[in-house]
Amino acid sequence: MKKMELVKLIDTTRCTACRGCQVACKQWNELPGLKTKNWGSYQNPPDLQWNTWTLIRFNEVADKDNRVKWLFRKDGCMHCTDAACVKVCPSGALYHTEYGTVGIHHERCIGCKECMAACPFEIPKYDRDTDKVYKCDLCYSRIKDDQQPACVKSCPTGALSIGAKDAMIKKAYDRVKKLGGDANVYGDQFVDGTHVIYVLQEKPEMYDHLPKHPRVPFSVVAWKDFLKPISLLAAGGVLAGSFLHYIIHGPKTPDDIQENKTQGGE
């Protein structure tokens, strides 16, 4: 694919929760299945895991007339423009690709888990055995080779599509217009725009695990944009101050012992 900003559109109104994307993701990325538990939901595994980078969430909600609605949402990395995970990653394992997505160099990951606390969507997951963190990279290996991500390729209903940022955002708003009601576009207005956006049938708060106002946590801003530069300024200031003290005021040198007998302590 041409080196341009890509956006993946997830139209939840077209999703039938077949979970083909979940399987295709595992197949392309060669991720193992792990033993899971039946917890009374089709949502399986219950949450994203180091080996499950995308997951269909099943949501039962009652509307105001007490009719049950069954909402499906494909969860996974949102590929933020202002990505908190990239901001905090100490090793450069997490990085912005030329497509605007957030890639991950697994060989550089040191398993510090700082991205896990920073991510407003709680996407990165940790594997104890390899002591590394994993997440969706929007199939960087495929888009680089002019292929659609595995999930998009596998989707039978057209719920998933990928393309140039502006075109996809327009497509999303056109769809929302057609749907009417509470339908809305989710993603383009947060963290300088995510590179995965949703068309949601219902308001965002109706969906499990979907933050209403995702943003880079203030703690990350305080840490990376404020304290980090301050630490260098403070250290540099103290070093410069010490030097100036030495050449202007001079060191505090003990007086000759004879002098001291009359003068006392300075």
Partner 1 sequence: MKKGMIQATDAFERITHWLLAISCLVLCITGLGMMFHSFNFVGTMMGGLKSLKYVHNFTALIFIVALYMAVRMWWKEAGVFVLPEDLDWIKAAGGYLWHVDKVPEVGKYNPGQKAFFLVVALCGSLMVVTGLIMWAPLIFPVWLVRWMYPLHALGFVAIFSFFFVHLYLGTIGSPGSAPAMFSGWVTRAWLLKQHPKWLKEMEEHGTLVVYGEEKESIEHGH
Tell me if 230 contacts partner 1 by CB under 8 A.
yes
CB of 33 to partner 1, least distance (A): 22
User: Could you write out the DSSP letters of every residue in 8-38?
Assistant: EEEEGGG-----HHHHHHHHHTTPPP-----
In Å, how far are 21, 54, 106, 190, 247 from 241, measured between CA atoms?
Answer: 60, 53, 43, 43, 10
Cβ at position 259, least distance to partner 1 in Å: 9
CA 241 to chain centre: 41
- Work out whether the CA dihedral 45, 70, 19, 202 comes out positive or negative: negative
- Of 90, 57, 25, give the one whose Cα is nearest residue 198: 57
CA distance 113 to 156: 35
Q: Which of residues 4, 33, 34, 110 is near partner 1 by CB under 8 A?
A: 110
- State yes or no: residue 237 binds partner 1 (CB under 8 A): yes
Stretch that binds partner 1, among 47-55, 74-82, 176-184, 231-239 (CB under 8 A): 231-239
Interaction between residue 222 and partner 1 (CB under 8 A): yes
Beta strands in the chain (DSSP E): 6-11, 55-62, 68-75, 94-96, 102-104, 125-127, 132-134, 160-164, 184-186, 196-200
Contact call for residue 41 and partner 1 (CB under 8 A)? no
Min CB(56)–partner 1 separation in Å? 23
Tell me if 253 contacts partner 1 by CB under 8 A.
yes
Q: Which of 35, 242, 247, 262 lies at the binding interface for partner 1 (CB under 8 A)?
A: 242
Binding of residue 265 to partner 1 (CB under 8 A): yes
Where are any strands of DSSP class E within 27-92? 55-62, 68-75
Task: Closer to partner 1 by CB, 42 or 246: give it.
Answer: 246
Cis preceding-peptide flag for 45 (omega within 30 of 0): yes
Binding mask 62-101 for partner 1 (x = CB under 8 A): --------------------------x-xxx---------
Stretch 112-151: interaction string toward partner 1, x if CB under 8 A: xxx-xxx---x---x----x--------------------
Angstrom distances, CA of residue 70 to CA of 23, 121, 207: 21, 22, 10
Cα–Cα–Cα angle for 157, 103, 196, rounded to 5 degrees: 35
Residue 223 makes contact with partner 1 by CB under 8 A: yes
- Interface stretch with partner 1, choices 28-36, 152-160, 174-182, 237-245 (CB under 8 A): 237-245
Residue ranges in contact with partner 1 by CB under 8 A: 88, 90-92, 108, 110-114, 116-118, 122, 126, 131, 217, 219-220, 222-223, 226-228, 230-231, 234-235, 237-239, 242, 245-246, 249, 251-257, 260, 264-266
